[in-house]
Structure 1
Amino acid sequence: MNLLKDSFEFGLHTQIHFGVGRLQELPSILKKYNYKNILICTDKGIANSGALDHIETILKNGDIKYEVFTEVEPDPTIRVVKKVEQLFKEKNCDAIIGLGGGSSIDTAKGVSIAVANPGDLNQFEGKNQIPNRGPDVIAIPTTAGTGSEVTHAAVLKDEERKYKMGILSEHLHPKAAILDPALLTTLPRGLAAITGMDALSHAIESYTSNQAQPITEALGLHAIELIGKWLRPFVADRTNLEAASNMMLASTIAGTAFIWGRVAAVHALSHPLGGRYKIAHGQANSMLLPVVMEYNLSSNFQKFKNIAALLGERVEDLSLRSAAEKSVDAVKELVTDLGIPKTLKDINIELSLEEIQVVAQEAFDSGIANANPKNCTVQDLVSMINTIK
């Protein structure tokens, strides 16, 4: 970016409350905004983990009225959003807590849209299509990956179309995010691994994207450094609060980076793969990230050299190209160390030539790959999928 010629925008609309034990401050935060009746939107895994009971105790002790919905699904669907919307209206709620991973927070965002904007949610797909801001969302993440607690995006699945649609709007920034690393200590190992890789994909894609600007680049680099240092120890021991704290921070920083820096071909492909074949988002990103990085290397060797160094690779005395290539090696090694499957075959999915073409076309049509630093055709996207078969 040429600062003498180019301009950019940056803003963060979410109040962040970070720290071990900050969850105890939830009642005072809710009272600050004068909410009268809160709807907690979460999933059965969170309910079974004890995290929901903990929050309910805090709310009761704080004399906060609330309702609970515990049927959020791994890929948040329009169908579930409509169920929660009905409960929200029936119970006369005035704000929503998204408690959990990206699915719970995105479902809460979807409910906020639906309550204030009648009609089919499909009409709001894309950027800035939501006329009215809905009820406030308070995000309480229990994973270190999606960054949804600070972003202006919600990804919802249309089951009829087998399609994951992205809705982006300034109305979707959560009002506040409570980041308590203690909530990560019960996260299953596999989920910790793939959500951490999701955060890394946000950081790398926003840093290398053609929409990157100085602030998002700085955020992306710091998130990459934190993940490179702390993801392995966090996955090895989720009760390690130092590792958990750094990963939760990295996830939120990476989420902040991609609000403005954007994501690119990795996410363009992971959305249709998830929508059609129920591949977990972080799993799809883990498979695709090194492939897309290798494709993009020549767009900016220096940036990929920087990534390699932050992920612990020795790049001294190497040519710029060779140093950049080390970034791909570093991500591949990380995926291996975390025990994440590397191919579709490893997770028992085989795609026909026709299916691959459909996924690539959907990825291209989504427009997400427009932010890729190197131009992508449909055939380029097909080749990327073939690499992870």
Structure 2
Amino acid sequence: MTNLYQFQTADHIISGADSLKNIGEYLHLLGEELKRTLIVTQPTMKRLGFVEQVKNDLAKHGIESDINIDVLPEPTLQNIEEVFESIKHQQYDVFIGLGGGSVLDAVKILSVLATNKQSLKDMLGTDLVEKPGIPTLLIPSTSGTGSEVTPNAIVTIPDEELKIGVVSKHLLPNLVFLDPILTLSLPRPITAATGMDAFTHSLESFISNKANLISDMVAMESIRLISASIVEAYQNGSSVVAREKMLLGSMYGGMALTSAGTAAVHALAYPLGGKFKIPHGVANSMLLPHVMKFNMDAIEERLSLVAQPMGIDTRELTEREAAEKVVEKIVEWTNLLEIPQNLKEYGVTEEDVSSLAVSASKVTRLLNNNPKELSLEDMETIYRKLLV
């Protein structure tokens, strides 16, 4: 565990069922002279009435709102650049992101594109954004990425068949609303994939080379909350209690990865999304048990510590047995949540394995966090375990 560490997150977090109804009361946290906002969202949020709800509440406080629904799921660099071109001549005081992780990531990037002369390509990487952006208000509608509390934003680069992060303190959101009511209508597959994505954030942060006392605290609470609610949220999506636990668990997972970072699971998942369009949470779910097994001899003690928060009875288990039970529980979840476990379903073949491993090997920002070094052969072996 590292001796030197830091922690940073969103400026203000408002949480609770129906908290979104009070959005106008908190806008003063972003400035006293707000006149116009841009709401970046998804068609589903419009159909469910949440966009109109936000727009009407802002209007009561004298704030005009424009709406943009052009951000793609898993947005590409070109997509975000095109959205920015369509809005860059407008004057906005706040950017609001209302939707899933793709929308939240896009809003953070749009915010800094509006105030910097840099291109998005120039921002790809760590600490390359020069100046703060326009204030952001983020409202997640899924319990997965934790983007609402991180300085990270992920962009797909089709030419490289890879996803690359923009990581900067200037991406940290200014105001966040966590309202589980927005997540009640999530379809089962999205509940499963985003929930397992959040769990992966926490578990990888806990076993990361950069794990520290602060990241451990929020990672453990995330693991506890998600373990207690992911199956219920999947099977009974109308449970506000389960949905709220998932939303908080996702947020804590975001805080954990901000401090400690994810590792090999995410590194291997990025090429699967970049080349084969496999949803990020699904790719993480597929890889998670196999990467944990690969890491086992280096993380046995750490992994055994999360068994109890996951609801596993460890009273008569050795450290190794408890760690192995954790992996078994993850596999059990993926079966219950009906998450695919075969890359062939997405068109991946044996011929693709080598190029996938090469692409994953380029994600050194995350691979350096992994407690065991992975060779190209190791990565190929892990991918092959999912070609069944």
1:370 matches 2:368: yes
1:182-221 alignment runs, 5 A limit: 182-221=181-220
Question: Which segment drifts farther, 201-210 or 106-115?
Answer: 106-115
What does residue 255 of structure 1 align with?
Answer: 254
TM-score by length of structure 1 reads: 0.95
Could you tell me which runs of 5 or more consecutive residues in structure 1 were left unpaired when the two chains were aligned: none
1:1-389 alignment runs, 5 A limit: 1=1, 6-34=3-31, 35-345=34-344, 347-353=345-351, 355-367=352-364, 368-389=366-387
Aligned identity (percent) is: 33
Question: 2: CA distance between counterparts of 1:187 and 1:248?
Answer: 12
* Residue deviations 1:206-229 (CA, integer Å, cap 9, x gap): 001010001101111111111111
Please state how far the C-alpha of 1:181 moved relative to its aligned partner: 0.9
Question: Which segment drifts farther, 308-317 or 204-213?
Answer: 308-317
* Residue deviations 1:176-225 (CA, integer Å, cap 9, x gap): 11111111111111101110000000000000101000110111111111
Question: Which segment drifts farther, 76-85 or 250-259?
Answer: 76-85
TM-score by length of structure 2 reads: 0.95
* Residue deviations 1:311-340 (CA, integer Å, cap 9, x gap): 222222222212211110000001111111
Q: Secondary structure at the match of 2:148?
A: coil
Question: 2: CA distance between counterparts of 1:130 and 1:316?
Answer: 49
* Residue deviations 1:241-293 (CA, integer Å, cap 9, x gap): 11111110000011001101100001101111101111100110110111111
Q: Secondary structure at the match of 1:164?
A: strand
Please state how far the C-alpha of 1:304 moved relative to its aligned partner: 1.2
CA RMSD of aligned residues (A): 1.5
Could you tell me which runs of 5 or more consecutive residues in structure 2 were left unpaired when the two chains were aligned: none
1:11 alignment partner AA: Q
1:222 alignment partner AA: E
**Paired residues of 1:47 and 1:70 also in contact (CA < 8 A):** no
Question: 2: CA distance between counterparts of 1:80 and 1:58?
Answer: 29
Please state how far the C-alpha of 1:302 moved relative to its aligned partner: 1.9
Please state how far the C-alpha of 1:119 moved relative to its aligned partner: 4.3
Runs ≥4 residues deviating over 4 A: none
Please state how far the C-alpha of 1:69 moved relative to its aligned partner: 0.2
**Paired residues of 1:78 and 1:156 also in contact (CA < 8 A):** yes
Question: Which segment drifts farther, 138-147 or 291-300?
Answer: 291-300
